[in-house]
Chain A
Amino acid sequence: MIHPVDTLLSLVLLSVLFSFGTSRLQGLIKVVAFQGIVASMVPFFIGHDMSAGGVVFTVATLLIRGIIIPLCIYLAIKKVAIRREVEPIVGYHASILFGLGLIVGATYVSRQLNLPAISEYLLVTPTAVALLVTGMFFLIARRNAIAMVLGYIMMENGIYLVGTTFSSHVRHIVEFGILLDVLAGVMIMGIILQNINKTFDDVDTALLRTLKE
């Protein structure tokens, strides 16, 4: 039978595919929020420990990853009325194709890795890898600064997915620290985004190429 985690994760994979295709930032943000939620719920299902602390922690993570962080970005956009385009360097169709290839590749790779800890959940590793690479892709292939930030968040989600699912060693407190770091990072990025928009009244990173040799 197929594990509920895998169904969730398959949805995530789908969202990844969608994110490649979309040209609207709001859509992208929603996608990221969804991924965050799922990513933070997965360990709950895999469940190393069902202690109260665990639950509290999972909820907290869910709040931050799934709601606060996307909210920050959303507000950042709202505050500054800017074009909602992601301004791709690589075109949408090419991106979608890339996404398909990516998912296939990710699945293949994670078959090769055969990790003992999570062998029963087929889709965890592929999703993680997919999220990672997607994040990277957004960072490299989107000129819009906000899209890049979203890519960064996606990547973080991916790493989180990997991390939490593998390591029974890491205490929650530590993970929480990491989470706070990410949160703070995203917040500062949001501020920077606003400033960028103030100074250039655009968030196209093509404008940020003056410092060079």
Chain B
Amino acid sequence: MSQFFMAILIIVFGGFLALIFARQAKLMKLIAVFSLSAGCLLGVIDAWIKLMGSDIHTASFSFLRVFSLGFQIDGLSAFFLFAIFLVSLLATLYSFHYMDHAQAPLRVAVNYFFFSLLIAAMALVVSSSNIISFMFSWEIMSLSSFFLVIYHYESAENRRAGYLYFVFSHVGAMFIFVAFGIVYGLTGSFDFTAMGALTETAKYLVFVFSFIGFGSKAGVFPFHVWLPHAHPAAPSHISAVMSGVMIKTGIYGIIRVYALLDCNTPVFGYIVLVAGVVSGILGVVYALGQQDLKRMLAYSSVENIGVILIGLGIGMVGVSQGNPLMAVLGFAGCFFHILNHSLFKSLLFMGAGMVLHKTGTRAIDALGGLLKNMKITGATFIIGSLAISGLPPFNGFVSEFFIYVGAFKGIALGETAFVMCILAIVGLAVIGGLALACFTRVIGVVFQGEPRTSAAVDVNEKGATMLISMLILAGACLFIGVFPGTLIYMPMKAVSALGLVYGNIPLEPFYRMTGNITQSAMILSAVVLGVIALRSFFYRGKTIGKSGTWGCGFTQPTPKMQYTGSSYAGSILEFFSAAAPLTIEHPPISGRFPLKTYYKSRINDIAELHMGTFIVRPVLFFFDKLRWIQHGDIHLYIGYILLAIILLLFFI
């Protein structure tokens, strides 16, 4: 454990140093980046080692004399720790050049301080083993990430985002409080392991409450409202960390609670699976409709959380149906996707950050043709998009493949499970298709074609550390996609840490699957090479002409004429208009000499709409009705005293 805590100490210490040296911006940044990345590196190595080994590390500190802060690192924790430290490491690297022309050095220092706190808190969350330490680190995590979200607090939009996030995280924490309160109330122990001893109904309650609580952090569909506001608001390396790993702590919570409850009812599986399918499909649909690059990425995180939950649900159903292969496949796919998503989502956010940093805008329809000047950014972004669409030979495909196979295993099962598996498979298929549409849209509109506004005209991609971390991530995506076998043991360790009844899982069948993937990836690349060879053979000694795009007879094409992202997505959104109502603002063209008109369209998140109408407004109404209490008339006030006494005297 000592290395682990050492890493955390180094990180937090770095944060403090940043505050101390806030005056000299350059020095401060150097120190902060160095110590943070050093800590993260140590953490990654430590997590890797723990993941290799199979023994469980524990540590416990006495707290307020009677209580204790317990920490425990098993396979599951180690797996998450690995992802957390890895992504944080790269994000820290990235931040070095990203935070360069930030306005006030003090603010940057504060940002680094809370960033370090966030990393530490996330690490502690996934490694704490009793209620107190868990809630403690959980709240620290929420608080620090809140400060990171409102980094650019000048814009009202970001303030609103911060507020939403703050409230959601607190309310979510309250739900978790309830769940743990039930646990403590019935067992009288703060220890996580006590959960196993609960009664059946209590387990249901605990699971549901904690699912809501953790779901609100993870961004599961109805509770995701804060996410698309908060992630764009934060600086991009923060968004990368938040979207890449922080929301995964919610998933961790769900998995951990499930494992501890150790109650193999199918219901849990069904809940998780349905939630997964819903948030997966709706998430990607909303993503398709976004006009803000980072918002779109945020929604795609909702989608990927959905995919992860589908895998989890498959696993749970498999457990409840006594189908080991299905269970392990589902869980393995879930874990694999957690890792993969943390890689390619942070990659994409970094790419978006680069775009934002250089062009100064996040509006998709304002960009275009960036690929010409931002080769590396563009290429890595394309790789990220391929990966997130789950296309071979990239890592997204591997996890989805596992989940698919697991789900198909469930087809052979009885009624409900069968329906659930159909739901999962079709859901995954639709998600895949939509994701493809979504990311082709982004690439096509942002990186290809011609610049739509002056913002995108002559840009560059300076900033070595930013490029490096993006390249590393892109490389990782490709590597895992081609050689998943090399990393298969990581999710497997996590799965075996769930304490399923199967003892130690035989890795052989999974190695065969990954082997097949590798083989087919090889085939594909071979064929591609062959075709390239063929092409170059055909082009040998040919004249390559250059000219404008063929305008189908139209002679003066302008960048304005390009297909915009909105129009690209239009027809698909129409199909989903029930779940994603589209508000269109478009004064009709009228008169013989029509005046200038415009077209604005915005996609509405039904969860957000209904939160307003069904929760916020009634609550405010109720409390407004109560406000007359403080009426200002002293006679009334003295009357209250009398009233209180008289009422109480009845109970004597």
Contacts and interface: CB of A to CB of B under 8 A. Distances in A.
Interface of A: 89, 136, 139-141, 143, 148, 205, 208-213
Contact of B635 (A140, A211, A212): A140
B632 interface: yes
B634 interface: yes
B639 A140 contact: yes
A139 B635 contact: yes
B454 interface: no
A212 B631 CA distance: 6
A200 to B, nearest CB: 14
A110 B401 CA distance: 85
B642 interface: yes
Contact of A139 (B631, B632, B638): B638
Contacts of A213: 627, 629-630
8 contacts: A139-B638, A140-B638, A141-B635, A208-B634, A210-B632, A212-B630, A212-B631, A213-B630
Identify whether the interface residues of B are mostly helix, strand, loop, or mixed: helix
A148 B637 CA distance: 13
B55 interface: no
Interface in B606-652: 627, 629-635, 638-639, 642
A211 B639 contact: no
Contacts of B630: 212-213
A46 to B, nearest CB: 27
Contact of A205 (B629, B634, B642): B634
Nearest to B639: A140
Contacts of B642: 136, 140
B412 to A, nearest CB: 64
A141 B642 CA distance: 13
B633 A209 contact: yes
B631 to A, nearest CB: 6
Given A205-B634, A211-B632, 10 more contacts: A136-B638, A136-B642, A139-B635, A140-B635, A141-B635, A148-B634, A209-B631, A209-B632, A213-B629, A213-B630
A89 B635 contact: yes
A208 B631 CA distance: 11
Nearest to A213: B630
Contacts of A139: 635, 638
Nearest to A210: B632
B98 to A, nearest CB: 47
Contacts of B638: 136, 139-140
Listed residue (B627, B629, B634) with the most chain A CB atoms within 10 angstroms of its CB: B634
A194 B631 CA distance: 25
Contacts of A209: 631-633
A169 B639 CA distance: 32
A210 B630 CA distance: 11
Interface residues of B, number: 11
A212 B634 CA distance: 11
Interface of B: 627, 629-635, 638-639, 642
Identify whether the interface residues of A are mostly helix, strand, loop, or mixed: loop
Contacts of B631: 209, 212
Contacts of B633: 205, 209
A121 to B, nearest CB: 24
A205 B634 CA distance: 8
Nearest to B638: A139
List the 7 closest pairs (A to B, CB-CB), nearest first.
A212-B632, A209-B632, A213-B630, A139-B638, A140-B635, A213-B627, A140-B639
Contacts of A211: 632
A11 B635 CA distance: 29
A79 B638 CA distance: 28
Listed residue (B632, B635, B638) with the most chain A CB atoms within 10 angstroms of its CB: B635
Contacts of A212: 630-632
A208 B632 CA distance: 8
A148 B634 CA distance: 10
Contacts of A148: 634
A189 to B, nearest CB: 13
A213 B642 CA distance: 22
A205 B627 contact: no
Nearest to B635: A140
Nearest to B626: A213
A211 B632 CA distance: 6
A213 B633 CA distance: 11
A148 B633 CA distance: 13
Listed residue (A140, A208, A211) with the most chain B CB atoms within 10 angstroms of its CB: A140
Nearest to B632: A212
B643 to A, nearest CB: 10
Contacts of A140: 635, 638-639, 642
B533 to A, nearest CB: 80
B613 to A, nearest CB: 26
Contacts of B639: 140
Contacts of B632: 209-212
Nearest to B634: A205
A148 B636 CA distance: 13
A89 B634 CA distance: 13
Nearest to A211: B632
Nearest to B636: A140
A101 to B, nearest CB: 16
B642 to A, nearest CB: 6
A54 to B, nearest CB: 32
A212 B636 CA distance: 12
B634 to A, nearest CB: 6
Contacts of A136: 638, 642
Nearest to A136: B642
Contacts of B635: 89, 139-141, 143, 205
A140 B627 CA distance: 21
Nearest to A139: B638
A209 B633 CA distance: 6
A147 to B, nearest CB: 11
A143 B633 CA distance: 10
B359 to A, nearest CB: 48
A196 to B, nearest CB: 12
A117 B603 CA distance: 80
Contacts of B634: 148, 205, 208
A197 B648 CA distance: 37
Listed residue (A139, A141, A208) with the most chain B CB atoms within 10 angstroms of its CB: A139
Nearest to B633: A209
A141 B635 CA distance: 7
A163 to B, nearest CB: 17
Contacts of A89: 635
A141 B639 CA distance: 10
Nearest to A89: B635
B223 to A, nearest CB: 32
Nearest to B627: A213
A25 to B, nearest CB: 18
A140 B645 CA distance: 15
A195 to B, nearest CB: 16
Nearest to A208: B634
A189 B639 CA distance: 20
B226 to A, nearest CB: 30
A143 B636 CA distance: 11
A139 B635 CA distance: 7
A34 B634 CA distance: 27
Contacts of A208: 634
A206 B591 CA distance: 64
A32 B377 CA distance: 89
A201 B105 CA distance: 58
B242 to A, nearest CB: 38
